[in-house]
Amino acid sequence: MTEPSGKAWQKAEGKGPLAGLRVLDVGMLFAGPLVATNLSDLGADVIKVEHPKGDEVRKIGRFKDGEGLWWRVTSRNKRLISVDVSKPEGAAIVRRLAVGADVMIENFRPGRMQQWGFDFASLSRDNPGLVLLHISGYGQTGPYSPRPGMGTLAEAFSGFAFVTGEPDRPPTLPQFPFADGVAAMAGTYAALAALYAREKNGGLGDEIDLSLYEPLLSLMGAMVIDYDQLKHIARRRGNRSTWSVPRNSYRTRDDKWVAVSSAANSVAMRLFRAIGRNDLADDPDLATNPQRVNRLEECDGAIARWIAEHTQDEVLNRFYECEVVAGPICDVEQLFADPHVKARGTLKKMRDPALGEITLQDVVPRFTRQPGELRWPGKPRVGVDTEAVLRELGIGDEEMKNLEASGVIAMDRKVT
Amino acid sequence: MFMTQANGPLANLRILDLGTIFAGPMIGAHLGDLGAEVIKIEPPRGDDVRRLGAQKNGVGLWWKVVARNKRLVGVDLTRPEGAKILSRLARDADIIIENYRPGKMEAWGLDYASLSAANPGLILLHISGYGRSGPYRDYPGFGTLAEAFSGFVFTNGQPDGPPTLPSFPIADSVTALVGCYTVLAAVHERRTSGRGQEIELNLYESLLSLMGNMVVNYDQTGEIMQRRGNRSKTSVPRNAYPTADERWIVVSSTTDATAKRLFRAIGRDDLADDPALATNVLRATRAEEIDAIVAAWMIRHRQEEALAILHRCDVAAGPINDIEQFFRDPQVIARESIATLDDPDLGKVRIPGLAPHFYRTPGKIRWAGRKKIGADTRVVLRECGYADDEIDRLIMDGVIAAP
């Protein structure tokens, strides 16, 4: 085999602040790959390594004409190579890619990577600047580390599920791989923080251990400290808030929904006036959030009754006029139709080779000088870029054929 | 004026945190955990977070979390002299984070052109509810509205119940995570260009990016995602199941192998071996039946007993913890998922620990949010070149606040 060169990364052509950054994505389902997705939106060149059978994301969710839709989202902007890393020859290929990488992301069960020979010590011997990010359900340490670590378990373990939902109903799990998405965001900034340190320390990378449940804790505000200091156990409260009244989702006359929030006292007063209840606005006993919490049913009931007598449009027009903090609870259809969403380009139409036109969420952070860019939706065929990448690595036709024949790699294969 | 004693990968990175409830300040909190030096600018009356949520010994507990690691400077930015102080601080900053309503900063003379004139490497991150463009840019942009607008609320909750708002400021917290990697990406780019830039982020788009396939499903199939409670359409079985001792267990079967192990664990080899149940797509067609079987097994066992069996069989299952259980959990203790700090106001105080564990350059939570408004105003302004009599005058005029 030829000397490791890292040449496979020469095709970097992303636009955005991270253009030229090389990311090796060896994860699956979802946290690891989503870190790479986030980085790729901002210009990083991502090579995704998937198993010759095809990544699991290809096989879940909705399909159209046999094509997995979710894959389009998570694998956007990525070049795809298909290699079985559990085979020594496969591991050798990935190791050569790691030589030229800035960031390597994996979310297998703790220990797997080491089994396959990907320990940080040996990886960083070949590439001292490499940042290796591990993501797993419970982290790389502690008694639960080896357990299967799906996002659902992290949502339950962290307390998130326990506090979500209506008080008299079961704890509610989110509809989306929430823990994975949140951990991916934390993983994205962690990897970039390690790159920042690398600049200052003469080029040394780092190894980072991220669990799925710990990033979720940062979303739950004061839950930890309230328990620690006051022994307050946060519980499900439905739509009402313990610290801000009124705050709820209300049904309108045309069977749509409106959300209202009044963290600031002045907003609550404007809301009472907007629904014609100057008496509540002028009541000194309702001036602050703690006071309104005491008379929650009364405040909330007045608002619910008024909103139920008006259509969503009427309610929102009235509230906007009075500068009340309120907005529509959109379903995805309303979101697509919304003028603000259209004006900002929140959603982006792209071409897909199998599906024709396809809409995805566009890059979230708007950089002024060199904006990030969605380049393509997740490519449908397994290992569609294997040949090009391996060629850039200096692997010849014959060797490639052998690797394919022995099932170590897959080249441009339909999902089975 | 920025101290540089912190450890962690972001040591020496200098951040001015101008925001309030919550997206902006949470960025400073996370990056401060990793070693960045954060100076928080709060109005002389004190930041609004101080007055939110539970209080103890006259201190807002939430403030302790959000203002951790930060030095506090009390300045009234609405006054020209206050804005001038900020401009001076900006000369030595890498990053400014603000989440006022679009236009406010400009109205105070704190537009990017002015701020970066003496510091071309400055990165300025704007956060707002709806963003700085589009027809809703001037609307008040609270997290609750973004949660509702993005589709998150509509799809959250029980199918026969109302759309459910989250019990914590999720839109803000999620946007903060996006903000963390956004500013670090700009810092990365600055290495080659030598220039900073202005970036904007809004709350609803950050949240939308978490909602996986909702957009593409609607686009390609017309499906409008609805509330479904705890079941998943993509992964079966997946639910929260009550146990004999009135606790809860969750089960996930995103991969087919874990679903098979679950069937075997509850003594249903027949289901594990049934080719008609081999994949998630197949199991989804018989979701009710499968779910009922799993539920019937769970309700016959206590939580601890059920989990022991499920974990022995390597099933993806776990407890739904309340915060009390979470504090006691051996994994949480082993990993220090909860950090314990010494606090002058509260004694020992516990807040969430660092999510990313760096092996070579670990971050550290240095202190919880300080009680006094503008606790560090005097020392920071002194470092910035202000004379003591000038500082005293600014305090008298109400432009700045210091203890």
Neighbours of A203 (CB within 10 A): 9
Examine residue B353 and state whether it is found in any structural domain, yes or no.
no
Instruction: Catalytic residue, from A25, A55, A180, A300: name it.
Output: A180
Smallest Cα distance from B365 to chain A, Å: 13
Same domain? B109 vs B206 = yes
Examine residue B73 and state whether it is found in any structural domain, yes or no.
yes
Same domain? B183 vs B80 = yes
Count of helix runs (H) and strand runs (E) in chain A: 18, 15
Reported in sequence order, the residue ranges of B5-119 that DSSP labels E, i.e. its strands, are 14-17, 37-42, 55-56, 59-60, 70-75, 95-98
Q: Count the residues in chain A.
A: 416
Alpha-helical (H) ranges within A77-177 are 88-99, 112-115, 120-126, 151-157
CA dihedral A385, A387, A390, A391 (to 10 degrees): -120
CATH number of B187's domain: 3.40.50.10540
Residues 6+ apart with CB under 8 A from B185: A16, A17, A18, A42, A192, A365, A367
When divided into structural domains, chain B yields a total of 2
Residue type, A123: L
Find residue B123's DSSP bridge partners.
Answer: B95
Same domain? B133 vs B74 = yes
Q: Which of B152, B331, B340, B350 to mutate to test the interface with A (most CBs of A within 10 A)?
A: B331
CA distance A165 to A155: 13
CA distance A274 to A278: 8
* Overall average pLDDT of the A229-235 stretch: 90
Q: Show the 3-state SS of A198-253.
A: HHHCCCCCCEEEEECHHHHHHHHCCHHHHHHHHCCCCCCCCCCCCCCCCCEEEECC
Residue type, A370: Q
Q: How far lies B202's CA from each of A35, B110, B137, B138, B319, in Å? A: 20, 20, 10, 12, 34
Angle at A396 between CA A395 and CA A399, to 5 degrees: 85
Q: Which helix (H) or strand (E) holds B28?
A: helix B23-33
Q: What is the pLDDT of residue A370?
A: 80
Q: What is the pLDDT of residue B354?
A: 86
**A131 and chain B in contact, CB less than 8 A:** no
CATH architecture of the domain with residue range A7-219+358-410: 3-Layer(aba) Sandwich (3.40)
CATH number of B294's domain: 3.30.1540.10
State which of B301, B327, B353 marks the end of a domain. Answer: B327
Examine residue B8 and state whether it is found in any structural domain, yes or no.
no
Examine residue B318 and state whether it is found in any structural domain, yes or no.
yes
CA distance A183 to B196: 27
Examine residue B105 and state whether it is found in any structural domain, yes or no.
yes
pLDDT at A1 over 50: no
Phi, psi of A337 (to 5 degrees): -85, -10
Residues 6+ apart with CB under 8 A from A195: A21, A102, A103, A131, B184, B188
Neighbours of B180 (CB within 10 A): 28
Angle at B322 between CA B319 and CA B327, to 5 degrees: 95
Give the β-pairing of B37-42 and B14-17. parallel
pLDDT at A4 over 50: no
Same domain? B22 vs B107 = yes
Residue identified by tokens 């960025």 is: B27
Q: What is the pLDDT of residue B53?
A: 83
State which of B302, B327, B352 marks the end of a domain. Answer: B327
Q: How far lies B43's CA from each of A106, A200, A394, B84, B379, in Å? A: 44, 34, 60, 14, 17
Where in the sequence is the domain holding B131, given as residue range(s)?
Answer: 14-210+361-401
Same domain? B45 vs B85 = yes
Q: How far lies B367's CA from each of A225, B98, B182, B403, in Å? A: 14, 23, 25, 18
Q: Model confidence at A293, in pLDDT bands (50, 70, 90)?
A: confident
Same domain? B305 vs B396 = no
Q: How far lies B75's CA from each of A240, A353, B3, B398, in Å? A: 34, 55, 19, 8
Residues of chain A with CATH 3.40.50.10540: 7-219+358-410
Based on C-alpha coordinates, what's the Rg of chain A?
25
Same domain? B142 vs B24 = yes
**A293 and chain B in contact, CB less than 8 A:** no
Q: Which of A62, A218, A333 to mutate to test the interface with B (most CBs of B within 10 A)?
A: A218
- CB interface of B with A, residues 169-208, below 8 Å: 169-170, 173-174, 177-182, 184-189, 191, 193, 195, 197-202, 204-206, 208
Residue B253 burial (10 A CB sphere; 0-12, 13-18, 19+): buried
Same domain? B166 vs B292 = no
CA distance B159 to B290: 19
Same domain? B186 vs B85 = yes
Q: pTM of this prediction? A: 0.90
**Cβ pair B225:A332 closer than 8 A:** yes
pLDDT in tens, chain B (403 residues): 565 567 899 999 999 999 888 899 999 999 999 999 999 999 999 998 888 888 898 889 999 999 999 999 999 999 999 999 999 999 999 999 999 989 999 999 999 999 999 999 999 999 999 999 888 888 877 888 899 999 999 999 888 888 988 888 899 999 999 999 999 999 999 999 999 999 999 999 999 999 888 999 999 999 998 888 777 777 788 888 999 999 999 998 877 888 999 999 999 999 999 999 998 888 988 988 999 999 999 999 999 999 999 999 989 899 999 989 889 998 989 889 899 999 999 999 898 888 888 888 888 888 888 888 888 899 888 988 899 999 999 999 999 999 9
**A194 and chain B in contact, CB less than 8 A:** yes
Can you tell me whether residue A171 is helix, strand or coil?
coil
* Of residues A69, A183, A187, nearest to B213 (C-beta): A69
Q: What is the pLDDT of residue B195?
A: 95
CA distance B253 to A209: 24
Residue (of A84, A186, A80) closest to A133 by Cα position: A186
Based on C-alpha coordinates, what's the Rg of chain B?
25
Phi, psi of A164 (to 5 degrees): -105, 130
CA distance A341 to A345: 6
Q: What is the pLDDT of residue B6?
A: 76
Q: What is the pLDDT of residue B401?
A: 92
Residue type, B79: R
* Of residues B167, B329, B349, nearest to A228 (C-beta): B349
Same domain? B192 vs B255 = no
Look up B172 and say whether it is catalytic: yes
pLDDT at A245 over 90: no
Instruction: Catalytic residue, from B172, B291, B343, B376: name it.
Output: B172
Q: Count the residues in chain B.
A: 403
Smallest Cα distance from A2 to chain B, Å: 32
Q: Show the 3-state SS of A111-129.
A: CHHHHCCCCHHHHHHHCCC
Same domain? B311 vs B194 = no
pLDDT at A10 over 70: no
Identify the CATH assignment for A248-335 out of 2.60.120.380, 3.40.50.970, 2.40.50.100, 3.30.1540.10: 3.30.1540.10
Structure tokens at A324: 């009340």
Q: What is the pLDDT of residue A3?
A: 44
Residue (of A268, A120, A334) closest to B150 by Cα position: A334
Q: How far lies A401's CA from each of A146, A405, B334, in Å? A: 36, 6, 48
Same domain? B251 vs B167 = no
Residues of chain A with CATH 3.30.1540.10: 248-335
CA distance B72 to B93: 15
Structure tokens at A20: 């030229």
DSSP character string of B147-173: HHHTTTTTTSS-TTS-----SS-HHHH
Examine residue B372 and state whether it is found in any structural domain, yes or no.
yes
CA distance A139 to B398: 49
Examine residue B262 and state whether it is found in any structural domain, yes or no.
yes
